[in-house]
């Protein structure tokens, strides 16, 4: 996958996440996007739903992009960047 295709896939996934967060009015915010990571904050009561949103968003992204291989995702939570990277 070239860099522009990778950016398109990542931005598509991020857009689906942001749309779902706004629609459901979750207390969650993406603060930084870089390379293949979204970093942000989420209220502990919304973490489980946010995990579901991440998976739903990557499923939609795979459908939209129709790539030869499915793209996956994983979420990590911590109090600082060192705990999640």
Residue 1 pLDDT more than 70?
A: no
- What pLDDT, in 10s, does the model give residues 63-75? 999 988 999 999 9
- What pLDDT, in 10s, does the model give residues 10-51? 999 999 999 999 999 999 999 998 888 999 999 999 999 999
The C-alpha R_g of the chain, in whole angstroms, comes to 13
Q: How far is CA 21 from CA 6, 29, 37, 66, 75, in A?
A: 23, 8, 17, 24, 15
Q: How far is CA 81 from CA 13, 58, 84, in A?
A: 21, 22, 5
Q: How far is CA 52 from the centre of its chain?
A: 10
């Amino acid at each position: 996958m070239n860099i522009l295709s990778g950016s398109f896939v990542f931005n598509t996934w991020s857009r689906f996440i942001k749309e779902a967060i706004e629609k459901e009015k979750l207390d969650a915010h993406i603060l930084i996007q870089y390379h293949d990571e979204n970093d942000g904050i989420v209220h502990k009561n919304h973490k489980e739903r946010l995990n579901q949103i991440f998976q739903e968003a990557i499923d939609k992204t795979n459908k939209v992009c129709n790539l030869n291989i499915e793209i996956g995702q994983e979420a990590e939570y911590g109090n600082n960047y060192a705990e999640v990277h």
